Amino acid sequence: MTLEDYLNGQVLCIDKPLKWTSFQVVNKLRWHLKKTFNIKKIKVGHAGTLDPLATGLLIICTGKFTKKIDSYQAQVKEYTGELTLGATTPSYDLETAVDKTFPTNHISAELIRAATHEFMGDITQIPPMFSAIKKDGKRLYELARQGKTTEVKARTIRIEAFEITAIDLPRVRFRVRCTKGTYIRSLAHDFGKALGSGAHLSELRRTQIGNFRVEQAQQIADFIAGLEAEN
């Protein structure tokens, strides 16, 4: 593709690597586009943050297509992942260490599958303190990393599908389809409570956004190699 193609707008499907932030992916692609075409500026943005410990589909928009980001963000998303029962963490995932442990010997496969029904449809959810939501001009995760807490407002989200795909206690694998604004980490945390225990998210992969699937996605290195080969 030419510089004009990228400036007029492209949608790039990238498979975000583990431990990369979504902003790091955007910055990496922007840098290589500027370098390849010897330009000082080009608009590049992502359509929906993935946590550093999550992998999978990240939609990147370039040029004029950055105006379409909101429409992509609004589309239904699908995730697969794993939650671990019997322990919680402050971040609701593996970013922080376990802070509390809970019994799990009362939990059966039947109880786990039955509990998913409590989370179907329109539900209220409180985002985790370790999130990029802003309050009084600061990201919540900035406050959390300073050991500070603040009230986080609940929001209404919709879970269209919540399927348990494998159980190997204390690990439980799942598939979720949900609307914009859903925190799978909060879902894992609340799911542990519903089972009379605790839980945290131990793995997450985004597999779909609207009609875009992760199977269509490129690795960052492959995109860069293709970009350099074409130009």
Full residue range of the structural domain in which residue 66 is found? 3-74+212-230
Which entry of 5, 15, 51, 222 is annotated as an active-site residue? 51
127 and 149 in a single domain? The answer is yes
One domain for residues 36 and 96:
no
**Are 93 and 197 in the same domain?**
yes
Number of structural domains (the chain) is 2
| 220-230 and 22-37 helices, crossing angle to 10° | 10
Q: Are residue 224 and residue 199 in the same domain, yes or no?
A: no
In the block, tokens 């970013």 appear at 95
- β pairing state of 77-85 and 171-178: antiparallel
The pTM of this model reads 0.91
| Predicted pLDDT at 15 | 98
Per-residue pLDDT, 132: 62
Quote the distance between the C-alpha of residue 130 and its chain's center.
Answer: 13
Q: Is the peptide bond before 90 cis (omega within 30 degrees of 0)?
A: no
- Catalytic annotation present for 51: yes
Domain check: are 51 and 93 in the same one?
no
Looking at the structure, tell me whether residues 33 and 88 fall in a common domain.
no
pLDDT at position 153 is 80
Residues with Cβ < 8 Å from 20, sequence gap 6 or more? 52
Judgement on whether residues 35 and 90 belong to the same structural domain of the protein: no
In this structure, what are the phi and psi dihedrals at residue 13, rounded to the nearest 5 degrees? -100, 115
Q: The domain that contains 10 carries what CATH number?
A: 3.30.2350.10
Residuewise pLDDT in 10s, the chain (231 residues): 899 999 999 999 999 999 999 999 999 999 999 999 999 999 999 998 999 999 999 999 999 999 999 999 999 999 999 999 999 999 999 999 999 999 999 999 999 999 999 999 999 998 876 666 666 666 666 655 666 666 678 889 999 999 999 999 999 999 999 999 899 999 999 999 999 999 999 999 999 999 999 999 999 999 999 998 887
Same domain assignment for residues 163 and 118: yes
Q: Which of 80, 24, 75 is nearest to 48 (CA)?
A: 75
